[in-house]
Amino acid sequence: MLSVAGASNSSIVIVDAVQPDTPIVFVNPSFEKMTGYALQEVLGRNCRFLQGEDRDQPGRAVIRAALRDGAACECVLRNYRKSGAMFWNKLYFFPIRRAGGDISHFVGVQHDVTLERELLADLERTASERARLIGELELQRRQLEQLSRDLLTVQENERKALARELHDELGQRMTVLNLLLHRTLPHLEAEEGRALWTKAEQELGGLIELVRGMSASLRPPGLDFFGLEPTIRQLLARQFEGGPAWIFEYAGLPQRLAPAVEIGVFRIVQESVTNIVRHADARHVVVEINGGADGSELELVVRDDGAGFDAANWRERAARAGRTGLAGMGERIQLLGGQFQVDSTPGQGTRIAATLRLQPAPPGQHG
């Protein structure tokens, strides 16, 4: 046995189980190389000297129990070389019995696992650092999303204020101008003057309608007072007055939703309708807004049978082309915690779908 132990690449130590304090009776060259101690320096000593003053180690209790019970064990210990350098020693410890069953010796097979422990510690540090960085990125993402939501709120408030100015100030002033224009009519006797008056009246009437349309586009007044359904119905009637044919379905939702959801859904429909009018050349349009299968979500679908486009990688294509319409819709839905999908094929129309968590309006949020 000793010849085999002597030739082993593993560090091997044999202790006498009969003599007091289980002294070392044999170590192989691999032990000498691993610890720096020669055979003559360790014979007769208990292996505990390898722990130096570092005695508070759970592995020591494991070894004591194995010696007491005459059992095999496995543990990892902090040991110290002759130079004083610490190394991690993974110890396999088992008894050698005589023919009668009595234990005569214990054999310890030792492996220096310092490199493995250091690598494991590095991995743990790397994992901890990675988790920290992920946490910081997640915090920054949430902060960026909140900033984007705040920016949308500010933008909508500015639109609301501008719409009010257009409607209340500029609109009223043009109405007064229109009244003054009509008061001048009796004083115009020449045919040429009346023709100019008629032209001025037409231009002013068109300008008033343009201002009203701009005001409604910036911030539809009905959204604050009447809610999503009538406001979108009015939008579709105005935008599709000369075609295409359209169907609007609204079902399974509370009368009022959170303001951010209402304005978000309105903007998606508004942008979709604008794209249809400008680009699709569609004959039929369907807009569906419902409470989802169980009423816990808002589902929005806008589809048309128009020209369509290649929707593959539409986000990247929109970014390269500098088109912010679809990308803006997707970002708005994402900021509201929803999902956004675009399906389209050239010549086969377009389908835009969004899903949002349903948020009823808090009391007092709508006037």
Q: Looking at per-residue confidence, does 1 or 285 come out higher?
A: 285
* Sequence-ordered list of residues with C-beta below 8 angstroms from that of 254, at least 6 positions apart, any chain: 358, 360, 361
| SS3 category, 198 | helix
Looking at the predicted structure, is the pLDDT value of residue 217 above 80? no
pLDDT of residue 257: 86
**Range 206-234 average pLDDT:** 75
pLDDT of residue 203: 72
Q: In what order do the strands lie in the sheet with 103-112?
A: 24-27, 11-16, 103-112, 86-97, 73-80
Report the run of H or E that residue 146 belongs to, with start and end.
helix 114-164
Quote the pLDDT of residue 289.
Answer: 94
Token digits for 327? 């990308």
The lowest-confidence range among 69-78, 243-252, 319-328 is 319-328
Flag whether pLDDT at 344 surpasses 80.
yes
Exposure pattern of 234-273 as b/e (b: 16+ CB <10 Å)? Answer: ebbeebbeeebebebebeebeebbbbbbbbbbbbbbbbbb
Mean of the per-residue pLDDT values for the chain? 82
Q: What percent of the chain has pLDDT above 70?
A: 75
pLDDT band, very low/low/confident/very high, at 59 (cuts 50, 70, 90)? very high
pLDDT at 333 over 70: yes
pLDDT value at 5 more than 60: no
Residue 324: pLDDT above 60?
A: no
More confident residue, 167 or 307: 307
Six token digits for residue 144: 């960026």
Cα 11 off chain centre by: 51
Give dist(CA 217, CA 263) in Å, integer: 12
Candidate from 69-78, 88-97, 194-203 with smallest mean pLDDT: 194-203
Instruction: Give the pLDDT of residue 9.
Output: 75
Model confidence band, residue 213 (pLDDT cutoffs 50, 70, 90): low
**Residue given tokens 């005459």 in the structure block:** 70
* pLDDT for residue 246: 95
Which pLDDT band, with edges at 50, 70 and 90, does 225 fall under?
confident
For 118-151, write each residue's pLDDT tens digit: 998 899 999 999 988 898 888 877 776 666 666 6
Contact in structure between 13 and 27 (CB atoms under 8 Å): yes
pLDDT tier for residue 62 given thresholds of 50, 70 and 90? very high
* Highest averaged pLDDT of the listed ranges 99-103, 220-224, 295-299: 99-103
Lowest-pLDDT range, 54-58, 117-121, 164-168, 176-180? 164-168
Q: 139 CB contacts (<8 Å, ≥6 apart)?
A: none
